[in-house]
A and B are shown apart, each in its own frame.
Chain A
Amino acid sequence: MIKASHLTKTFQKKLAVDDISFEVETGKITGFLGPNGAGKSTTMRLMLSLASGKGSTLFDGKPLHEYNQPSKLVGILLEAKAFHPTRSARNHLKILATAGNIPLKRVDEVLDVVGLKSEAKKGPGKFSLGMSQRLGIAVALLAQPKYLMLDEPANGLDPEGMAWLRQFLKSYADQGNGVFVSSHLLSEMSQMADNVVVIGKGKLLASTSMKQLIAGNVKSSVFVRVTKQATLERVLKEQGLTFEKVDDGLKLIGPTTDEIGKIAAAAGITVLELATRGGSLEDAFLELTAGSEEFEARPGGEL
């Protein structure tokens, strides 16, 4: 388990990370979410002692620097374009394998895993963002570490690449490893993360399971689409139920699909669509981080 305790970082007088504590379990994918500028990258750097600050991070009970071979413990991807542009991808990996005391045969293995074997002799300076991410993932996988810490690994990946990454990380975690991954792609995260750590303006907003995060922050609703909407609206009002008009139907918070179905049937209204709409990670994220955005844009369309 990775146990981050009281991580704090100040840039000049601004508190970038404010006393954050959380855990990353083995066998699970822990998503790391937060608006732009929330302090996600800084937190990851603090965990790896790449940034100076307060607090501690223990990897299986010990700080990273107390391990003889840190590469076996944690593999990182903090920036997609972290390579010398003209040094070949293979040489880039060879250097890191050498530094981490990792057998050089792993270099070609990981290039194969991420699908870059044919590009191994090329300088990555002209790689697309997606290819750069794949090279970064290859670096993280070099030593087959127990933990992966990946900062926005899905950025720039094509749909096939994202599906591969999702499956790969799931299977990596299923093998008993821990994966700590940040992403802005909430739909991706909702499909792969078991646990979630959410921060906003440097503060910890939630550290829980994905299910609890959604259940605790978003109320599920019932959507109903009928042939005689005006009639249903009147009946619902008579029963004291509140609703909201959405798309070509009604959204109700509170009653179940069974109750709405029975009301419609009693009024002789044909139901075309009746479904529970559970809260999404995006809903939960927006609810949780409301007011925690570092950079807030104008409402849509306003220039």
Chain B
Amino acid sequence: MIPTLKAELRKLLTVRTTYGFLGFALVLELFLGFFINGWRADPLTLRDPGTLANDFAGAVHLLSLLAAIVGILLFTHEFRHNTIAYTLTLANSRSKVLASKIIVVSVMAIIFTLVSGALAPILSMWGMHLHHLHLVTQSIPYGSLLWKGLFYGWGYTMAGLLIATLVRNQIGAIVTLFIVPGTIEGLLMLWIKHNVVYLPFSALNSILGRGMAAYPNAITPFHAVLVFSGWLISGWIVAWILFIRRDAT
């Protein structure tokens, strides 16, 4: 298992797309955190004691998409470039290969979430400081913010990896990741109303309190974690069975 894990880590760290997407995340964060939320912060924001907590949650919410795409690419590159035959022949178990990918992408997602989440309020404060803006004393629920942010970042990335494992096609997986949370679940919300929080990405948004403006308190964060975990575990069981049985082409 250790050799497979190390190999997956090497795969992640030796492609340009990993650095491309993480670099893009940093640029986006500089622009939004430093410039929009910091330098150009509006007076209302400056008087809000929850501004920095919002910056953290906002960054995690936005940038987790990029971590998910990195996860998708790690998996789908194997099929697009036919290296999966090597990967599966060198390991004596397909389950080990899949577990290694999940672990490596999980570690990447957690580190990415922590860094991008922490950078957002720092850049925001830096921008305000340079523009001589004064923020009111902040009330930051560190513990709650941390677990919600980490779960969201990890969960979104895992959902991306899960879609990649099921779809196996690079473009198909990325398109699915873009369509399902916004379009599909958005349309379903018109039909099932507040029950939309029992769909995976809506449940995930409820944890962070983002993107659920229509039904802000339809579910508690704890219950949302259970709902999303249920979807994730069910999805991974199906994906694991398919990964074991499918032809490696």
Contacts and interface: CB of A to CB of B under 8 A. Distances in A.
Interface string B1-21: 001101100110011100000
A88 B16 CA distance: 11
B246 interface: yes
A99 B87 contact: yes
A293 to B, nearest CB: 24
Interface in A206-260: none
A71 B81 CA distance: 20
A94 B7 CA distance: 8
26 contacts: A45-B247, A48-B88, A48-B89, A50-B247, A50-B248, A52-B246, A64-B92, A65-B93, A67-B92, A70-B90, A70-B91, A76-B89, A81-B82, A84-B77, A86-B16, A91-B14, A95-B7, A96-B7, A99-B3, A99-B7, A99-B86, A99-B87, A99-B91, A100-B3, A101-B3, A139-B86
B85 A78 contact: yes
A49 B90 CA distance: 12
A68 interface: yes
A98 B86 contact: no
B249 interface: yes
Contacts of B3: 98-101
Contacts of B4: 99
A15 interface: no
B96 to A, nearest CB: 10
Interface string B91-105: 111000000000000
Interface string A84-126: 1111100100111011110000000000000000000000000
B88 A50 contact: yes
B83 interface: yes
A54 B249 CA distance: 18
Contacts of A48: 85, 88-89
Q: Is the interface of B mostly helix, strand, loop or mixed?
A: helix
A22 interface: no
Nearest to B83: A82
Given A76-B86, A83-B83, A87-B15, A65 B245 contact: no
A52 B89 contact: no
Interface in B30-67: none
A53 B212 CA distance: 47
A48 B92 CA distance: 11
A78 B91 CA distance: 17
B90 A71 contact: yes
A86 B17 CA distance: 10
Range, interface on chain B:
20 to 34
Interface string B70-87: 000000010001110111
A70 B85 CA distance: 13
Given A78-B82, A84-B83, A86-B15, 9 more contacts: A45-B248, A50-B248, A51-B247, A51-B249, A70-B89, A70-B90, A71-B89, A83-B81, A91-B10
Nearest to B247: A51
A64 to B, nearest CB: 7
Contacts of B15: 84, 86-87
A139 B86 CA distance: 9
A115 B149 CA distance: 50
A74 interface: yes
Contacts of B86: 76, 82, 96, 99, 139
A174 interface: no
Interface string A33-76: 00000000000010011111000000000001111111100101
Nearest to A97: B7
A218 B86 CA distance: 39
A79 interface: yes
A82 B82 contact: yes
Interface in B191-234: none
B85 A79 contact: yes
A86 to B, nearest CB: 5
Nearest to B10: A95
A70 B86 CA distance: 11
A51 B88 CA distance: 11
Given A82-B83, A85-B81, A100-B3, A95 B247 contact: no
